């Protein structure tokens, strides 16, 4: 293996080679069973005598770190394991300091622990994804001429995928767009990052839903813009509460996260009128719109927009897998070029083999079939969770009506925020993972309640999971 040894301004060359190799073995950079560079080769790279290297190797062997096999080489011994005390010898109290904003943004541990009775939101049922079909598609693209050429792709995305997305959302959601206005990104978070880089200056005001999805607020704050949290009620974002100086508002009108309500048509029209008066942009995350179980789907803001102020964002995290990190945004022509440049300076382009495989998956009908299959499965789970909450938890919770998406929210009737948090802790101890409603509130008073997802939990486990949760209220 290649290994760098620094001998600048060193006098004890053998000792320095020994110390740096020993440190690499101890902290796990060279793992048990791996081979050290041949002494002749390392001596040539370091411009030292071969004897200088063999002395270092002999010292390592004498201390039991390595052993030599004639004709094979020198290998790290299998019993050598990284020492916890030596894994990171650098002081955390170094001279560099991050901006204060990063002290307030936690690293997510929401999905760190698996659970048999998993009611966490944001997760689809990965076990029902057509893994074999996807593996074949991806494998075929890895062998394609585009990948073998080894050149960078278009920042806007693989053209065939942009065309496939434009056709799909045109048919499934009535979004009127062309492939030219589609930019492929690595999920909703990057879509928002690209939009913010395109439209916002430090100090600008951005409006987000409250309660809402915390990482969206953190993203905007990390870019130096002011964030105004606007309350949401049973009809969606309260337009009258929007600040007059907001340059952009982020909304989830199809299925508000976490309340689960859909924005009323009157609110959607009022929001578009507000954007026109305020010369502001609207970022519409069409969250969970593919999974509607009753009534007809609501029209996206993008289809009602006649002035070119709506930026439409979609993701394949719930419809396919979060691990793929694939999403897209549809932009008005006036900002198309700038958005593509912003995408280029962030990561140039999303993985080409993944884009190519997804284009085939959509064009061959696999994506539509998967959506239909999962919609039927999620419809059953939605009915089971909603029925269970309404009938078995009626004395504790009031379910918020919702006929779309992969989660249901419910407010507590009498319990406090602290009491609901205690319920969540007891549920976790019983193998039931849920989320408390208060974690999504920012400025509006936190309401006690629960948010239950049903994407990841097996249908057969829902009844038992709800039974265990019910016991946690009685504890």
Q: 145 — phi, psi (to 5°)?
A: -65, -35
Beta bridge pairs of residue 209: 230
Q: Which CATH class is domain 117-123+369-474?
A: alpha beta
For residue 463, give both structure tokens: 């009844």
pLDDT recorded at residue 82: 57
Can you point out the beta strands (E) in 79-222? Answer: 117-118, 182-185, 205-210
* Distance between CA atoms of residues 62 and 18, nearest Å: 12
Q: pTM of the predicted model, to two decimals?
A: 0.85
Q: What is the pLDDT of residue 285?
A: 95
Helix (H) or strand (E) holding 66, with range, is: strand 66-69
Distance CA 96, CA 79 (A): 37
Please give the CATH architecture assigned to the domain spanning 13-86: Orthogonal Bundle (1.10)
pLDDT at residue 110, as a whole number: 75
Q: Torsion over CA of 169, 170, 174 and 175, rounded to 10 degrees?
A: 80
Which residue(s) pair with 435 in the sheet? Answer: 451
Q: What is the pLDDT of residue 109?
A: 79
Kind of pairing between the strands at 281-285 and 117-118: unpaired
Domain 131-364 sits in CATH at 3.40.640.10
SS3 137: helix
The pair of structure tokens assigned to 448 is 């006690």
Q: Where are the alpha helices (DSSP H) in 258-329?
A: 265-278, 301-304
Report the pLDDT value the prediction gives residue 136, as an integer from 0 to 100. Answer: 95
Q: What is the mean pLDDT of each run of 10 residues along the chain (475 residues)?
A: 80 91 90 91 92 94 90 85 54 81 86 86 94 95 86 95 96 93 96 97 96 94 96 95 97 93 94 97 92 83 95 96 96 97 96 96 96 96 96 94 92 94 94 92 86 96 97 85
- How many residues are listed for the chain in this entry? 475
pLDDT at residue 418 in the model: 93
| Cα distance between residue 248 and residue 226, in whole Å | 11
In whole angstroms, give the CA distance from residue 120 to residue 454.
7
So what's the pLDDT on residue 354? 96
| Under 8 Å between Cβ of 195 and 248 | yes
The domain segmentation of the chain, as residue ranges, is 13-86, 117-123+369-474, 131-364
- pLDDT for res 426: 95
CA-to-CA distance for 14 and 22, rounded, in angstroms?
12
Q: Is there a contact between 438 and 360 (Cβ–Cβ < 8 Å)?
A: no
pLDDT at 88: 53
Residue-by-residue DSSP string for 187-234: SHHHHHHHHHHHH--TT-EEEEEES--HHHHHHHHHTT-EEEEEEEET
Q: How do strand 226-233 and strand 205-210 relate by DSSP bridges?
A: parallel
Identify the pLDDT of residue 364.
Answer: 95
Find residue 67's DSSP bridge partners: 75
Q: Nearest 10 degrees: CA dihedral of 267, 268, 273, 278?
A: 90
């Amino acid at each position: 293996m290649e290994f760098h040894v620094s001998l600048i301004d060193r006098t004890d060359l053998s000792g320095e080679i020994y110390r740096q190799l020993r440190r690499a073995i101890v902290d796990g950079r060279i793992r048990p069973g791996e081979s050290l560079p041949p002494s002749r080769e390392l001596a040539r790279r370091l411009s030292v005598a071969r004897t200088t290297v063999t002395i270092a190797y002999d010292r390592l062997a004498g201390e039991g770190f390595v052993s030599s096999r004639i004709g094979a080489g020198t290998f790290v011994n299998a019993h050598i394991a990284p020492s916890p005390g030596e894994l990171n010898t650098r002081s955390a109290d170094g001279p560099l300091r991050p901006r204060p904003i990063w002290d307030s943004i936690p690293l997510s541990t929401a999905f760190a622990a698996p659970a048999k009775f998993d009611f966490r939101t944001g997760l689809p049922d990965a076990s029902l994804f057509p893994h074999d079909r996807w593996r074949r598609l991806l494998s075929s693209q890895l062998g394609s001429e585009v990948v073998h050429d080894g050149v960078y792709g278009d920042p806007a995305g693989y053209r065939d995928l942009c065309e496939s997305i434009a056709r799909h959302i045109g048919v499934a959601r009535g979004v009127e767009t062309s492939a030219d206005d589609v930019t492929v990104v690595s999920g909703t978070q990057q879509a928002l990052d690209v939009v913010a880089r395109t439209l916002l200056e430090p100090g600008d005001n951005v409006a987000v839903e409250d309660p809402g999805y915390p990482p969206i607020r953190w993203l905007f704050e990390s870019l130096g813009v002011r964030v105004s949290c606007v309350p949401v009620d049973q009809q969606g974002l309260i337009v009258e509460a929007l600040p007059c100086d907001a340059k952009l508002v982020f909304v989830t009108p199809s299925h508000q996260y976490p309340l689960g309500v859909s924005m009323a048509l009157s609110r959607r029209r009022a929001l578009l009128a507000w954007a026109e008066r305020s010369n502001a942009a609207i970022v519409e995350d069409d969250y969970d719109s593919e999974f509607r179980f009753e009534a007809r789907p609501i029209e996206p803001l993008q289809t009602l927009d006649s002035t070119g102020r709506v930026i439409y964002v979609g993701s394949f995290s719930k419809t396919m897998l979060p691990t793929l990190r694939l999403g897209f945004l549809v932009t008005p022509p006036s900002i198309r070029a700038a958005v593509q440049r912003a995408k280029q300076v962030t990561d140039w382009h999303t993985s080409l083999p993944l884009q190519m495989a997804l284009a085939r998956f959509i064009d061959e009908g696999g994506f539509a079939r998967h959506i239909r299959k999962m919609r039927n499965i999620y419809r059953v789970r939605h009915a089971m969770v909603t029925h269970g909450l309404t009938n078995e938890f009626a004395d504790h919770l009031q379910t918020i009506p919702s006929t779309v998406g992969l989660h249901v929210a419910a407010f507590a009737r009498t319990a406090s925020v602290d009491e609901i948090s205690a319920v969540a802790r007891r549920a976790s101890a019983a193998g039931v993972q849920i989320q408390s409603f208060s974690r999504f509130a920012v400025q509006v008073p936190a309401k006690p309640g629960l948010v239950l997802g049903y994407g990841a939990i097996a249908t057969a486990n829902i009844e038992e999971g709800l039974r265990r949760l019910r016991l946690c209220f009685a504890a």
